[in-house]
Structure 1
Amino acid sequence: MPHPENHDDVEVASWHARAPRHSVGQPLDSSPSGGTRSSLSGSPADLAALDPVLVDLVEEATKRILGGETIDIEKIVEEHPAWAEMLRSLLPAMRSLAELAEGGGEDFPEAGRDEEGRTVFGNFRILREVGRGGMGVVYEAEQVALKRRVALKILPQASAMDPRALQRFQLEAQVAGWLQHPRIVPVHDVGLVHGVPYYAMQFIEGGSLADLVGELRHLVDGHSEVAASHSSSEGLSTVAAGLLSGRLAPLRREPEGSRHGSQPARGSDHSDASGGPSLRSRAFLRAVAGLGVQAAEALGYAHDQGVVHRDIKPANLLVDLRGELWVADFGMADVQGDAGLTVTGDLPGTLRYMSPEQALGKRALVDRRTDIYSLGATLYELLTLRPAITGDDRQEIFRRIAEEEPTPLRRLNPAVPFDLATIIAKAMAKDPSNRYETAWHLAEDLGRFLDGRPIVARPVGPLARSWRWCRRKPIQAGLVAALGLAIVVGFAGITWNWREAVRQKRLMLVAEQEARGEAAKAAAINRFLIEGLLDRAEPASNPAANRLTLSEALDRAAAKVGSSFAGQSEIEATIQLAVGRAYHGLGEYFKSESHYRAAHKLFERLGDRDRADRLEAASGLGHLLSHLGRWDEARTLLTRSLAEARRTLGHSHATSLRTAEYLAEVHRTQGRLQEAESLYRSSLGAARLASKPDPDIMFSARFNLGDVFLQEGRFDEAETLYRGLVDEQRRSKGPEHPSTLTTLNNLGVSFEKQKKYAEAEQIFRESLATDRKILGARHPDTVTALYNLGHVLNQQGRFEEAEPLFRQSLEARRQSLGTEHPSTLYVASSLAALLRTRGRLDEAETLLRRCLDAQRRVLGPEHRHTLLSAARLDDLLKDRSHHTHPDSTQPTGVADP
């Protein structure tokens, strides 16, 4: 896994066993204002007995009217005499609908206009269309008698001919009028006008979350156009900008009374709001959590009244100009205890936001936890601006909802705090029993997050094993052989040959015999491993076994861990730690982090009896954070863990030694070379004093000391050290072992530092070819070798050869690390420097400005990488002012100034 660059040219590696390279209340027919209205349950005929031919005929006529066509009703009657009376009775309603859709049409009766020429629908003056869908058309309107603005929802006549559609429309109005909660849109009036059903609601100035997502995309990505369904308004733009900047603060729940509909209090902490439009600002992330609290509380109230919404999605959640959320559209609701209010025969929900039980048609399982899933999917989309589930067609979406996990939220938006991502992951659990039991619990956990308190949710769904725990506890002896492949090999893209799998299975069975003192537990774990991992790699059961990678095998087996180790916290914690390490070695940063954090939390709950494992988990997490470029967070965690490890386990304990090396790596990365060298040397001395010195730890300390030599300019000492280490690794582990390749990379760096470019190029080419063969093209070590080769070519003035290598490395980093990871930004800056050298100033300037803006945000204005990019931009602008181009025969001078 690539380490954030510690040198402003080539990338070096730090060592850690297998080192990564651096480089309600009213009946429906009663008007709230006191007047009597026609019941929505009636129509000109018995709707349930209507012939489908008539329904199709009316639908076609309505479409033609909405399309602006003037139809000859008598001609249609002549062609369909059996329906003459019905068609004539429906014509006024169809024409009314057409007038509304057009904003005024010549066929609309004169009584349908006011003195200003605006359409009048009963007691409502139509102002504009707000939106339309399968469940009706919504208009902004003025309720004339009360002089108030309302949202008027009308059921198209063609839909009213369908008994189910009419029943859903009736249900929506009835339930919304029944529920009385400050976050549920209230209903003011219901009835029929010219046979067209309607109901009037409070008008929410703002827009839906679906509109808001579109506006956020517009603001964040600078899109020149917004989705057709989204009409950007000044109000909606204000909401979006307010959420991004922190001007609209997240709501925080009152500790008491919120379940009874009291108004939540507004938080006021905007101190961390970013100045620019970014989904990564603390203010925006808290605002989304605040919206989640409001939605969850409204749903909690509805569920307490026996109402399950069943169609929670961005389009049905509205946000007003104050940043307050409103739940709307109960047309798909299920009302427990009143069969008359439940629409049957339809698949409730909107595809992308359906829960797995909805997608699978398991109606018996659809309950309040279904709404919790859909709300989780909505919050996921708001945080990432992309749906959690996508697909080319209906069946593909169903399959993915039921079988596939969405892309980890933090992979799409790394700024999302781990706790918030954990909350949303729990809300979206495939199995309803793994979600929050109630929406109140979800609201409570989101409130905990907003208040900075520990959340209740814990990461779910990981699978795996524990190499360290297996060695320590005999009942897990059967785990050792199977986990050896994942933990010792520890890298992605490696082909898991079936013969090796068979051999590992035999070893595991032998280990099981040795563990027969607790045979029941050992057998359960072994069965899990054999069925979940090894059997998947055997050709007899899997024809694609020869192509199955370790990463794929781990991913495919992951779904079984919950059922395999439910209630066994110690086993689960150790498996989480093992998988965190495995994914760390695989270069799967985001997967690794969730497993490390889960292990750490589980071990903390187990107390001091598993202190060593808890500290190991904390140490591994800190090391991963440093590779993610979150150095301050890593340093804090590692400093605390090292102090406790040395105090409780001793200076020579393997956990203490590893933690010291990880902390030294952070010091070195941030330029504190004396602190780094001190820790490396103390680790080497402590390792030698151990009763059973660990050769890997001793090797690691020597290896990382070479990194300090490189940064201090002691290149000949580094070369001598790395030459010896490469020889050792080749003899003990072979020329193609990942650790050998990592050491070889750093030897190449020492050559490059001494301007021995031919030797460095030879090593980097050798390293790149072997990395591609062993690790795969996407592995971070391969990407590091790619960049280092490009850099050496650049230093030799071979710019045409270097540029594609820089571009490939940059694209790979963007995909695996994100666009604002320090390593990604550094390579982008290097590419821009090369482009300037080649005279492509416009492209270079654009890339440099974007890079510099991000580095100032992520690293700070005084970081040496930020200063380097600033100097490069200054040089480029000087080129422009002098109307000259740099000498294209000279390298770009990417070394640290």
Structure 2
Amino acid sequence: MLMRIDNEAAARDSLTSFKNSEQLEEALDTVKADLRAGKERPLQHYEVMFPKIAELIREVMPSFVALEQVRAKQRDDASSMQTPRQIGNYEIHSELGRGGMAVVYEAKDSKLGRRVALKVLPFASGLKAISVLRFQNEAQVLAQLDHPHIVPVYDVGEHDGSRFLAMKLIDGAPLDDVVTIESHRTAASSDDELIDVDTPTVIEGFDVPTSDESVQHRHDVPMSIQHLLPVDPTERLQFIASICVDAARALHAAHECGVVHRNVEPSNLMLDEDGHIWVTDFGLALTRDNESMTRTGDLLGTVRYMSPEQARGNRNLVDARSDVYSLGITLYELTTGRAAFEGEPCEILYRIESQDLVLPRKLNPEFPRDLQHIILKATSKTPDQRYETAEQMAQDLERFLAGETTTARAPKLSERAARWMGRRRRTVAAIAGFAAMTFAGSLITTALVYNEMTKTEAARELAEANFEETQSVVDRFGLQLDNELSLIEGTDHLRRRVLNDVIQHYRSFINRSQESGGFTEHLAVTLNKVASLTERAGTPEEALAAHVDAWRAFDQIVASDPNNSEWAVQLALCDNNIGLLYAKSGNFPAAEERYTAAQTSLRKLVEADSTDSTSRRALGQTLNNVGLMYVERNESEKALKSLSEAQAILFAITDSDPGDELAQRYLAATFENLGAAHRTISPQRARAAHADAIRLQQQLADAHPDRVDFRQELAICYDSFGVLLANMKEQSDAAKAFATAADIQQQLLTTSPGSPIVLRQLAWSSNRLGQSLARLGHVSAAIHALGNSLKSQQPVCDITANNPQDVWTLGGIWNNYGFASEGNGDLIAAENAYRLAVEKLQAAFDESTSSESQRATLNRAGANLARVLKRQGKASEASAVLNDLQRGTNNDDA
């Protein structure tokens, strides 16, 4: 996206940064888990997942993968050996299970002769401080817990650099091996064949999914365990409820000792041959003494079972009720046989916070109502609405088993509404705020804007002493309110009313000044403000007329005082602003005339005083806009000439005065436009220019965290950079840029919910991210990104009452979603998406002045639909689609 320099602003990013070493450790753990799960992914997959350490990944990953493959062979060789190994006093018999950190063996204590489960932290894992800390934490926690349903610890030690933990050996299996939890959708693979995304329509404009967590279990569930699970559905539910009673009481005992498990899930609940349940794996437990073991923002445990507060990484809110939630999700899955939330980890985190569980009784009308109430209470999104303790949950489960009334009841309508608003508090706040303003109706102007104006007007005397103060109140109030309203959906008419009130205030001053014949300079300044505001609130013609009025006022001042450089700069900037308006309307000859006048005046001022940063900055600003005009006219050489001169001028200013943020903003915009100018001539120079633009915008954004406009501009810079990289076929880097842009825009939505500006930009970036991921072969991730794009663009169409341009964009995204789904083998989803694409594109085509290229785009989407219909054996439907397209083309020609 090209950047004009007027009086509007630039960009910023507030992404949290982490130390490279911590990110690398996380990346290596992810690779290890993938390899052990049999998932061999390309290097680019991890570069996209961890963009901030992509260079480190390129350097380290090949060697690490090779080493892991050697280790895997060694593990296989070791497991095939008949001779048991020895760790301390423990003779290893077989491997029971393996996680990302430790290995669990069946072993024999050579001194006492008893069988134990020996959890071993290998030497390599012991090199990581966090792994050692968590291993020691588990040992300390288990040592202080004494409960019949918590696995006791016998011994802790170290042997040849490997730490170990000897525990009671449970002859049984984890519940996720005993009870089958079915997926309710077909999982999409990110390793499907590369699709040709140049074939479908690409309409130019969220978190790249992380890998699945993987823990390998080698349990062969004994028949004695399988027979414990009743076949009768009612008896099975009662059996599961009864073992959850014991699990809840074990957790309550831990909570009473100040221990929060934080990783309650079926795989950490072991069922032995006597039907006895054991809570295992306290490696992530939080105690009163180890609060420094994790930081706010860490995500610990299996994503699917995390409470909403854990999913947000908010450690301060994690307590016993978090374990209650996880046990509730476990109970849900065990009793319904269905995963509570599915998708890539980033999708699951979103759903945990924003989506309700599918009601068990909706899945099975015979599901006990009271048991459903218990599950819903335990898994409430808000901790205060859950059971206060795990003991309370255990007691309610016992009431259910005894046929008694449970304390958990179906939530009332008012409670459900409150929960809905709680999950969407930002959106509700925006709606409520807007409702309050619209309820006030015309009172908004009298109660707010007009009130401020009349107070100043009542006190005013047309005197120099208080003029600036009077105007600054109106400036600050009116413009700030306009900026805030621009980010709230449905407030366009209110914005115009506020701006028109401010303009009216200025015009009343103008009329008085003209009548009294005084304050000529202030009159010119005020006319200039009116012109800028009219660009926001009025038509292009009204804005142009207002700018011409301002130009005339400054021209009169300069004529009476030709040596005043301040007013001469303002007159030149008036020419610049008029040139901008002409360029926007496509009147390039008139734009060139005004730009030339501005340049001529500013060059004279710079020659007269080369140290004056104001005139130099204004010249750089004007040259940037001239270069932008030439970029839009595809006159690259002229564009580069103007932009290069602007760069040199603005760079010199920022070099001598790093605190000149206005010059820095102009320089960032110039680099952005240089990137566009170089794009077809020298992609590498374009790349460097975009990188410079991002660097400068990032500095501005970091210096002003409260500036939403800075963050918007930063997102635009990343998006433009991604477009360049995609054109250069550097899809991995392009995906990183688009993902960063989408991340920034997603953050902006938290402060500006429903903003059509932010939603539209998020839709563009997510769409482009999906295209790049598809080109990389990550079809599943591409579908996820394109889905996010659709979720952002549809509200834009609703807000703008189906503006044809927005509907056209929506149709293009649906087309790309269809193509990705087709590449993923989901022909039904592809067909539905293509149908929506054709519908939206046709509607937009019919409502606007359409071109041949738009007809070609529409035909391409139709051809995609016809192709997928044929692949499903629907030849007649495919022919009908193609015939409709041909008739449309013939009508255009006629």
* Larger RCO, structure (CA 8 Å, separation 6 or more): 2
Instruction: Say whether the fold is shared (TM-score over 0.5).
Output: no
- TM-score tier, shorter chain, comes to 0.3 to 0.5
Q: TM-score of the superposition, structure 2-length normalised?
A: 0.35
Answer 1 or 2: which has greater helix percent: 2
